[in-house]
Amino acid sequence: MKTVLVTGANKGIGLEIARQMAGSGFDITISGRSEQRLREASDILKRNGIEVHLLLMDVGNDASVEAAAKAWSAGGKKLDVLINNAAVAIKGDRSLTVSPFEIFDETIQINSYGPLRVTRAFLPMMNKPGRVIMMSSGGGSMTDPVEGWSPSYCVSKTMLNGLTRHLAYELEKSSIAVNAVCPGWVKTDMGGKGATRSVEKGAETPVWLATEASQLLSGQFFRDKKSIPW
């Protein structure tokens, strides 16, 4: 049975990815930084007849990621698909010059270093062919105009897009495809109530990449299953 690990999956798009993947025959692990929130998420899935494994992992913390990778490796399981979904959009992220520097620092730690940290830690356990999916955002685009909202968050996703392209290049010889996804503006705690998309729609493209898309699409950025400019 193929395996998938989704980070930051105790709610929002990550939890919905786990729910949608349940029908595709994958052995699913959801990870998060709070054991209680993970248990609550697993209870929600259980009520829908879906069984998942839980993995405690704070993607912003080296020791936590190392411990999680060690626990996975001790279980002897290989990993087919890693979905780097965990991210924060911190309240008060209004200006790169005026907002407290800590906001920028924490955002980059979790949203940019986090996916790299987790990818490095789990790479030795990955099957070939394998797949790494980065949940990015149109906010990280170098093509769209800058709109000024959450600048640290947007820069963190620009860095994530850069990481995606370079990891895709580096991992091509290992048959591991690496892609970035923009889910659109989705109704979650992060996206807010005014968002235009459902969580089901937000999870659609990462689930497609995880289950159906060709490995040859590695190195591209997707929205609605279509390649978009960086």
Ligand X SMILES: NC(=O)c1ccc[n+]([C@@H]2O[C@H](COP(=O)([O-])OP(=O)(O)OC[C@H]3O[C@@H](n4cnc5c(N)ncnc54)[C@H](OP(=O)(O)O)[C@@H]3O)[C@@H](O)[C@H]2O)c1
**Catalytic residue ranges:** 153
**Complex with ligand X: residue 37 or 46, whichever CB lies closer:** 37
Which strands, in side-by-side order, build the sheet including 176-181?
A: 53-56, 27-32, 3-6, 79-84, 126-135, 176-181, 221-223, 226-228
Q: Which is nearer to ligand X, 89 or 171 (CB)?
A: 89
**Closest CB to ligand X among 92 and 129?**
92
Residue showing the smallest CB distance to ligand X in the complex: 12
For ligand X, the closer of residues 61 and 127 by Cβ is: 61
Whole-angstrom distance, CA of residue 185 vs CA of residue 83: 19
Q: Shortest Cβ distance from residue 106 to ligand X (Å)?
A: 9
Q: How far is CA 139 from CA 12, 59, 86, in A?
A: 18, 21, 16
Q: Least distance from C-beta 200 to ligand X, angstroms?
A: 12
Phi/psi-derived region of residue 183, left when phi > 0, alpha when psi is between -120 and 50, beta in every other case: alpha
Task: Name the residue nearer to ligand X (CB basis): 13 or 213.
Answer: 13
Least distance to ligand X, CB of residue 177, Å: 19
Minimum distance, C-beta of residue 128 to ligand X, in the bound complex (Å): 26
Q: What's the rounded Cα separation, in Å, for the pair 201 and 4?
A: 19
Nearest CA-CA partner of 201 in 10, 3, 13, 35: 13
Task: Please state, in angstroms and rounded to a whole number, the distance separating the CA atoms of residues 156 and 179.
Answer: 16
Residues 6+ apart with CB under 8 A from 136: 157, 160, 161, 164, 180, 181, 182, 221
Residues that bind ligand X (CB under 6 A): 7-8, 10-14, 32-34, 37, 58-60, 85-88, 110, 135, 137, 182-183, 185-186, 188-191, 195
Q: How far is the CB of 12 from ligand X (least distance, A)?
A: 2
Dump strand ranges (E) for 85-207.
126-135, 176-181
